[in-house]
Chain A
Amino acid sequence: MTLKKDKQADDLIRSALKREQRALSEYESKKLLSLYGIPVTREQLSRSAGEAVSAAAEIGFPVVLKASSPELMHKSEHGSIELNLRSEGDVREAYGRIVGSVELELDGVLVQEMVPGQRELVIGLTRDPQFGPCVMLGIGGTMTEVFQDTVFRMAPFDMTEANDMTEELRFKKILGAFRGQKPVDMDTLCRALIAVGQIGLELEAVSELDINPLIIMPEGRVKAVDALVVLK
């Protein structure tokens, strides 16, 4: 781990704490994840419909728009997400709807690439009073708490152990070839699990963390599509 990354991660958290945030916004959370080498969606924070449109053009259609605020922890429940926007017009209208419907003060609207793939995982960090920082892997998406297929490991752990986590999932078959889609990029997935453990070990101020969903794309790559970092 380089010194530079530590410093950037520290700064990110310190300034959030200074603003008395209880959590990092999605945008900040993903910045933190990418500092630890976890692949995240390409995205930009926009503060006007015009900015959103040019961000979308740069990222490439289709895009997703999401309200961005550290106060907003479970976005799908607040009607603050607009999916699959295919044109400038779509983006402009969606921007208006989000700003109009969310009552919280926003730091902006997040414009992000729409990641294809039906297979969704969740990766998390929890702190146990006895075992310390523990990493969770599970079947993710909106059905996370329905399937409750989750496995845990105490950080730190190695690639063998990360691999064993995937073996322990009841529905591990979705990590393999699945309806014409390629098997998951196991190496990147395991590195992401190890990295979340590192966050737990290195950043005391992070109390909990969710990456949900981490989408497995049809060609097998993984990407963090939504993330939440809860602060102490």
Chain B
Amino acid sequence: MIESIKDSPLYPIANPKSIAIFGASNKVTTMGTGLLGSILDLGFEGEIYPIHPQEDQVLNLKAYRSVLDLPTVPDVALIVLPTRIVSETMDACGRKGIKHAIVISGGFKEVGNEGVTLEKELVAVANKHGIRFLGPNCIGVTTPRHKLNTTFMTYEGAPGFIGMASQSGSFVTQMFNYLSRHALGFSTAFSVGNEANIDIVDCLEYLSACPDTKVIALYIEGIRRGRAFVETARSIVPKKPIVAHYVGGSETGRRAGLSHTGALAGPDRLYDGMFRQSGIIRAQSIIELFDICWMLGSLHGDAGRRVVIQTHSGGPGAEAADACGRSGLELPSLSSETIKKLSPLIPHTASIGNPVDFTFGKNLMDYFSTIPEVLLEEKNADVLLYYFSMPNRTLERMLKHMGVPSDEIAALAPELLDAQCEAIINLVETGHKPFVGYTFQSIYDKLVRRLVERGIPIFQGPQRAVRVIQAAFQYTQLRDKILSAVSQE
């Protein structure tokens, strides 16, 4: 493992002060121009040096005929050129003294035959100059805090806490919008491409040392340095959770063996074991990958298996309870202290059990403050699963029926919203137990949106919420397993 993030070959790649870009021109339809446009769009604050054989200016930046003409040695070379001239460009970069590169260009190992030879050549050239590089056949890196985004798509939203390494570039760039919709974002995301030089294990080391990364997300189609991968992950998991979505080699690709074991060692089962041994939580889809990252990155305290559910409607409560049961989570009985504290708050039509069903309360604010406060203190439970459903229009209508004049409603409704929102945030932030919300309202519902933007995880439907609780509990178990193994050494 590296001592400091600055020891990682990915540090200058993710946080360059200057970039030389090969392949950008004034022709807007080329990939290279697109990438430069994306870099400019996010407002990269370092130096950008377009290298172009004919142009004097590229997108209003001074262009250079050769990398050797540059006034300084840039931190990183971004190469978006036709395959056949990538190696010679890398060689020129080496002669200039550049030590880090991102090779976007494809046409290497992934196409077989001649591509394999070209990739070997590229690696040899890089090795000759001691250059570390990401790719080829990748879309590069995005570090929104550093205002760097070398991918084709414009970065959306704010920087976040998810550090990602992906064997598909799409799951970096095409997730920008999805993440920003959930008020999530990347700390740094790497598209690793063919991993000819820098691989997933290097990314793990970088993200482990990255202070802005709270949780590491991986999209994997195949691991190359298997043994190093497991050992590196095990050293990270006690400090930081890792979640992986693996889309495997097909079961038909398994090696024919003479033994039962050989026949049963299909890649999917093998990877299940390798992830569990590594302490990595395996997600079943990309959406689930980011759900789990969301939960783990917003966790207050350790998750356990005992869940208490708060609802004001029977169906959504029963649905959540059912989902818990199917996922191996427990719904403990409430302690007598909790029941005593809740009795004055809950109407006689309601039930004080688990789920705690508020139905229609005496004081609406109890649902947002006093009741969850009592439940977060429940000694029999590890997690509070909380149902959100009060669309703003309903709230306004209720106020109207209560006889509040409409001009006052206009003022009162936002105040109520504020009070509800602050009450929940205060509880979550001062509490020592995980709080997970679920709703059938839109993520753009006023209350939901505000809470989500303040870092409260609220999932669409109880099944997704329950799945992330299960994953967070699994993280506690995996982390403790590795820690206990370490303490035995």
Contact = CB atoms under 8 A, between A and B. Distances in A.
B277 A161 contact: yes
A160 B261 contact: no
B481 A152 contact: no
B262 A130 contact: no
Nearest to A210: B259
A134 B259 contact: no
A164 B479 CA distance: 13
B111 interface: no
Interface in B431-489: 481, 484-485, 488
Contacts of B318: none
Contacts of B224: 130
Interface string A155-193: 001111100110010000000000000000000000000
Contact of B265 (A134, A145, A158): A134
A138 interface: yes
Contacts of B259: 124, 126, 208-210, 228, 230
Interface string A96-124: 00000000000000000000000000101
Main secondary structure on chain A at its contact with chain B? Answer: strand
Interface string A120-142: 00101110101110101010000
Interface in B235-274: 257-265, 269-270, 272-274
B264 A150 contact: yes
Given A23-B258, A124-B264, A136-B261, A151 B230 contact: no
Interface in A176-232: 208-210, 212, 228, 230
Contacts of B393: none
A210 B269 CA distance: 17
A132 B226 contact: yes
Interface residues on A, range: 35 or more
Given A131-B227, A208-B257, A126 B262 contact: yes
A15 B156 CA distance: 66
A148 interface: yes
Contacts of A148: 264, 269
A165 B270 CA distance: 12
B258 A230 contact: yes
Given A124-B260, A134-B273, A160-B481, A154 B227 contact: yes
A134 B270 contact: yes
Contacts, number: 104
A153 interface: yes
Interface residues on B, range: 20 to 34
B485 to A, nearest CB: 5
Interface string A60-81: 0000000000000100000000
Interface string B192-210: 0000000000000000000
Contacts of B273: 134, 151-154, 165, 168
A144 interface: yes
B277 A130 contact: no
A129 to B, nearest CB: 8
Given A130-B226, A161-B485, A151 B260 contact: no
B225 interface: yes
B486 to A, nearest CB: 10
B230 A154 contact: yes
B270 A144 contact: no
Nearest to B224: A130
A60 B430 CA distance: 69
B223 interface: yes
B485 A158 contact: yes
24 contacts: A124-B261, A125-B261, A126-B262, A126-B265, A126-B270, A131-B226, A131-B270, A134-B273, A136-B264, A136-B265, A144-B260, A150-B269, A151-B276, A152-B265, A152-B269, A152-B270, A152-B273, A153-B277, A160-B488, A161-B277, A168-B273, A208-B259, A228-B258, A230-B259
Interface of B: 222-227, 230, 257-265, 269-270, 272-274, 276-277, 481, 484-485, 488
Given A157-B277, A208-B258, 9 more contacts: A124-B261, A126-B259, A136-B265, A145-B264, A151-B272, A153-B277, A161-B277, A165-B273, A208-B259
The 4 A-B pairs of least Cβ separation, nearest first, read: A124-B261, A152-B273, A130-B226, A131-B226
